[in-house]
Amino acid sequence: MGSVVYPVLRFLMPPPEQEASVSAVKATSLTEMAPNSGKVFKFGRKPALIVRQPDGTFRAFLAKCTHLDCVVQYREDKERIWCACHDGFYDLNGTNVSGPPPRPLDALEVHMQGDDVYVTRKS
């Protein structure tokens, strides 16, 4: 009966990647990001962007441009989110303000835990 017992026991031991789907990701910490800067990180399987605004607070979005799916980045000089592919711009609310993007970016929620910055799906 080893062919039954062994698989069952192995099954019950959790694999290294413990969570199935991602509900919360630690994106950065207060010490890692200066104000007016941005960072691309992995939110589950999708690329996401976290921006620390000039006033020190954080905003997070899924980083896929709504035009043709390029990964966006933060532009400190413009204080805007920019897509290098066709010069699309989003403001810090995620609204598409210039260029080809037809829709705003999908927003994510930011939660602080001490110095750590966590990003979760919008509830």
Partner 1 sequence: MSTSPENPDRALLAWAKDRYPIGKFVEWAEHKTVPIGPGAFWYYFGGISLFLFLIQVGTGILLMFYYKGSADTAFESVRFISAKVPFGWLVRSVHAWSANLMIFSVFIHMFSVFFMRAYRKPRELTWLSGIVLLALLLGFGFSGYLLPWNELAFFATKVGTDIIGVIPVIGKPIMYVLRGGEEVTGSTLPRFFALHVALFPALLTTFIVGHLFFIQMQGIHEPDAWKAQPEQRKTMPFFPHFFMRELLLWLITLNIVAVLAVFFPAELGIEADPFSPAPAGIKPEWYFLSTFEFLKYMPAHVGPLEGEELGLLLISFGFLLWCLVPWIDRGQSRRMTTIVMGTGVAILIFLTILTGIGYAT
Partner 2 sequence: MTKVFTLALFVLGMALASPALADDLPGGKCLECHVTIDDDLGELWQDDVHARTGIGCDACHGGDATQDDSDLAKRPGTDYQGELSPLEITRSCGGCHGDVEYMKARKPLLPVDQLDKYQTSEHGKLLAKGETRVAQCASCHGAHGVREVNDAKSPVYASNVPATCGGCHGDADYMSDFDIKTDQYDEYVQSVHGKALLEKNDVRGAPACNDCHGNHGAAPPSIDAITNICGTCHSYNAELFLGSPLAPAFEEKSLADCVACHGKHLIRHVSDEWEGDKPGATCRKCHEEGEEGSELALYFTDTFGSVRQSFEEIEQLLGEAEVKGMDVTEGEDYVEAARQGLMQARTLMHSFSKPVMEEKVTEIAANQAAALEVGYAALQALEDRRRGLAISTLLLLLLTIGVAIKIRTLPPLD
- Show Cβ contacts of residue 19 under 8 Å, excluding neighbours closer than 6 positions: none
85 binds, among partner 2, partner 1, none (CB under 5 to 8 A by kind): partner 2
User: Residue 55's binding partner, choosing from partner 1, partner 2, none, with beta-carbon cut-off 5 to 8 A by kind?
Assistant: none
**Per-residue CA distances from 2 to 5, 15, 121 (Å):** 5, 21, 43
Applying CB under 8 A, the span of 1-9, 19-27, 31-39, 110-118 interacting with partner 2 comes to: 1-9
Can you name the residues that pair with 91 across neighbouring β-strands?
Answer: none
Cβ distance to partner 2 smaller for residue 12 or 114: 12
Q: Tokens for 93, please give them.
A: 């609310």
In sign, the C-alpha dihedral spanning 56, 48, 23, 15 is: negative
102 is a site residue for partner 2 (CB under 8 A): yes
Kindly list the residues in this chain that would bind partner 1 in the complex (CB under 8 A). Answer: 3-4, 7-8, 10-15, 17, 20-21, 23, 121
